[in-house]
């Protein structure tokens, strides 16, 4: 007989004891795990059950019976609706504790490491106002007003914003005013259900060190009457604005950017200073959104490697050379591998602009390029996407056995999976793992793992 408590819509009372890697609070009721968004460990709450499974359930917070000591008032007035942040209601020090625990738990549960050495989470600047990039979907309200913001949690219902406390505050004036300009110009807003209309997203990027801003409209086809004149007007209005671009994305897809970007006015990139080098960052360039913390993690990598100048370093998944180029200045030779042709082109330009000559970049998939290189690097840097390394990449490393590996991960579950394979049979040893908070106010955590080849294998 099924217990009537475990039915959709039933109300239960639980105490939240943990946080999941997706940011939800975790509690237990009758030995069954219950996940509840917008909660904090220590909260005593009333929950309405939404989805009930044999071993777990998802619920909706109905009432806080007793708040956690770690619960705070969010900085954003729409934090309870907007899906951009999950943790603004949690005090920042506890966010850091939860993120370190997330790394430890992934290494234990997935990697099988009994006592992983995980440092405190690396932090730098304020956990608010840190993002150097914002990409807002656009919509039209029931009264015909142009809106821009982020989607509500678990939906495609837009939460309209005129400012955002996690974005660089220098971007906020553009958000409100450009919406008004689009409204006055009468440009059509894209409707994803009908696949009609023009403007899909408003993209804003800023160089944290230079202050330069890049504005990009993501459009379906690009039929925007008067766009050239308006782009020039924006450049005159905003002294920090260096370029206005159109990115064309005609596909029926959730991907934000399409393959074609053209500059309407100014230049198609902004300049950013990173690790004392100057980088060109384009609208669709991958560049970490928290410049200061990314730079701090690079400094940890440099300190841990203690490079002597005679090494060969391979940077797999190198992007535009954000890590490759600073490290190239400290080694004999650096080699970057990257799948995206546009990123390789930018990496080469960034190397030339910074007069770094001991570096080369190769276009292709890491799993194809790495086994064919014919060299064993002294240091291999891995910085894969969220899915982690392809199995053939791991197998290539198990055969070539570079002396040191630095694995920078944006998803600790795949990091733990790959480290388990690299450390099997004692081949590699983890020296330390440094988590870094690239995304405060969210459940996301990055980490750098430092591995060394075992002495036995060095001698074989």
In a domain, 361, yes or no: yes
In a domain, 46, yes or no: yes
| pTM of the predicted structure, to 2 decimals | 0.92
> End of a domain among 216, 241, 274?
274
In a domain, 2, yes or no: no
What pLDDT score does 1 carry?
34
> In this model, does residue 335 exceed pLDDT 60?
yes
Give 326's contacts (C-beta < 8 A, 6+ positions apart): 274, 275, 276, 277, 298, 302
- Burial readout 367-398 (b: 16 or more C-beta within 10 A, e: otherwise): bebbeeeeeebbbbbbbbeeebbbeebbebbe
In a domain, 79, yes or no: no
pLDDT band at residue 274 using 50, 70 and 90 as cut-offs: very high
Residues 40 and 70 sit within 8 Å (Cβ to Cβ): yes
Q: State pLDDT tens for residues 199-255.
A: 999 999 999 999 999 999 999 998 899 999 999 999 999 999 999 999 999 999 989
Question: Between these two residues, 271 and 370, which has the higher pLDDT value?
Answer: 271
In a domain, 282, yes or no: no
Catalytic residue among 85, 164, 245, 410: 410
> In this model, does residue 459 exceed pLDDT 60?
no
What is the percent of the chain with per-residue pLDDT over 70, rounded to a whole number?
98
Q: Are residues 223 and 102 in the same domain?
A: no
Q: Are residues 422 and 312 in the same domain?
A: yes
CA dihedral 227, 229, 230, 231 (to 10 degrees): 80
What pLDDT score does 129 carry?
96
Q: Which domain holds residue 450?
A: 95-125+290-458
What is the token pair recorded at 237? 């209005």
> In this model, does residue 2 exceed pLDDT 50?
no
Q: State pLDDT tens for residues 45-91.
A: 999 999 999 999 999 999 999 999 999 999 998 888 888 899 999 99
Q: Are residues 162 and 184 in the same domain?
A: yes
In a domain, 4, yes or no: no
> In this model, does residue 458 exceed pLDDT 70?
no
Q: Are residues 106 and 228 in the same domain?
A: no
Q: Are residues 327 and 428 in the same domain?
A: yes
Q: Round the average pLDDT of the chain to a whole number and report it.
A: 94
What pLDDT score does 148 carry?
93
The number of domains in the chain is 3
Residues 301 and 448 sit within 8 Å (Cβ to Cβ): yes
> In this model, does residue 423 exceed pLDDT 80?
yes
Question: Does 410 participate in catalysis according to the annotation?
Answer: yes
Q: Are residues 141 and 270 in the same domain?
A: yes
Can you tell me the distance from the alpha carbon of 282 to that of 304, in angstroms, rounded to the nearest whole number? 31
> End of a domain among 274, 302, 319?
274
In a domain, 219, yes or no: yes
Q: Are residues 179 and 44 in the same domain?
A: no
In a domain, 416, yes or no: yes
Q: State pLDDT tens for residues 136-160.
A: 999 999 899 999 999 887 778 899 9
Can you tell me the distance from the alpha carbon of 240 to that of 319, in angstroms, rounded to the nearest whole number? 26
What pLDDT score does 21 carry?
86
SS3 content of the chain, % helix, strand, coil (to 5): 25, 35, 45
Q: Are residues 415 and 310 in the same domain?
A: yes
What pLDDT score does 457 carry?
60
What backbone phi and psi angles, to 5 degrees, belong to 372?
A: -95, 0
Question: Nearest-CA neighbor of 82 among 445, 411, 441?
Answer: 441
What pLDDT score does 455 carry?
67
Q: State pLDDT tens for residues 99-146.
A: 999 999 999 999 999 989 899 999 998 999 999 999 999 999 989 999
Residues 425 and 454 sit within 8 Å (Cβ to Cβ): no
CA dihedral 131, 136, 142, 144 (to 10 degrees): 110
Q: Are residues 187 and 208 in the same domain?
A: yes
Give the CATH number for residue 46. 2.40.50.140
Q: Which residue has tokens 């480290």?
A: 419
Give the CATH number for residue 425. 3.40.50.150
Q: Are residues 192 and 47 in the same domain?
A: no
Q: Are residues 238 and 337 in the same domain?
A: no
> In this model, does residue 256 exceed pLDDT 70?
yes
Q: Are residues 392 and 332 in the same domain?
A: yes
Give the CATH number for residue 254. 2.40.50.1070
């Amino acid at each position: 007989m099924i217990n009537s408590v475990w039915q959709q819509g039933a109300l239960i009372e639980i105490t939240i004891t943990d946080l999941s890697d997706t940011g939800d609070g975790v509690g237990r009721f009758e030995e069954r795990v219950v996940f509840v968004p917008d909660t904090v460990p220590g909260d005593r709450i009333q929950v309405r059950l939404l989805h009930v499974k044999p071993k777990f359930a998802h619920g909706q917070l109905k009432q806080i019976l007793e708040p956690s000591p770690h619960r705070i008032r969010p900085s954003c007035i729409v934090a309870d609706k907007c899906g951009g942040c999950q943790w603004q209601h949690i005090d920042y020090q506890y966010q850091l504790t939860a993120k370190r625990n997330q790394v430890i738990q992934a290494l234990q549960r997935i990697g099988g490491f009994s006592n992983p050495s995980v440092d405190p989470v690396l932090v730098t600047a304020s956990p608010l106002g840190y993002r150097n990039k914002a990409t807002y979907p656009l919509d039209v309200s029931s009264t015909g007003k142009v809106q821009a913001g982020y989607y509500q949690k678990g939906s495609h219902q837009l939460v309209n914003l005129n400012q955002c406390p996690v974005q660089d505050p220098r971007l906020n004036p553009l958000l409100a005013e450009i919406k008004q300009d689009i409204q006055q110009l009468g440009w059509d807003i894209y409707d994803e259900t009908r696949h009609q209309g023009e403007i899909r997203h408003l993209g804003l990027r800023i160089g944290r060190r230079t202050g330069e801003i890049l504005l990009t409209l993501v459009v379906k086809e690009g039929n925007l009457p008067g766009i050239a004149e308006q782009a020039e007007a924006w450049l005159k209005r905003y002294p920090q604005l260096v370029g206005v671009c159109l990115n064309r994305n005609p596909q029926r897809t959730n991907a934000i950017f399409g393959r074609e970007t053209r500059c309407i006015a100014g230049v198609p990139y902004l300049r950013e200073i990173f690790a004392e080098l100057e980088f060109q960052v384009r609208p669709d360039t991958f560049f970490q959104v928290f410049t200061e913390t990314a730079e701090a993690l690079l400094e940890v990598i440099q300190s841990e490697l203690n490079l002597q100048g005679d090494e060969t370093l391979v940077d797999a998944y190198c992007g535009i050379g954000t890590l490759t180029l600073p490290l190239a200045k400290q080694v004999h030779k650096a080699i970057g591998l990257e799948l995206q042709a546009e990123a390789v082109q930018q990496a080469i330009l960034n190397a030339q602009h910074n007069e770094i000559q001991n570096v080369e970049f190769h276009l292709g998939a890491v799993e194809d390029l790495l086994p064919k290189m014919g060299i064993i690097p002294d240091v291999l840097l891995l910085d894969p996407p969220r899915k982690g390394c392809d199995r053939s990449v791991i197998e290539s490393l198990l055969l070539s056995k570079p002396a040191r590996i630095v694995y920078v991960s944006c998803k600790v579950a795949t990091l733990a999976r790959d480290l388990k394979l690299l450390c099997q049979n004692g081949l590699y040893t983890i020296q330390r793992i440094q988590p870094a908070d690239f995304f405060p106010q969210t459940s996301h955590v990055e980490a750098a793992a430092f591995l060394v080849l075992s002495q036995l294998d060095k001698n074989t």
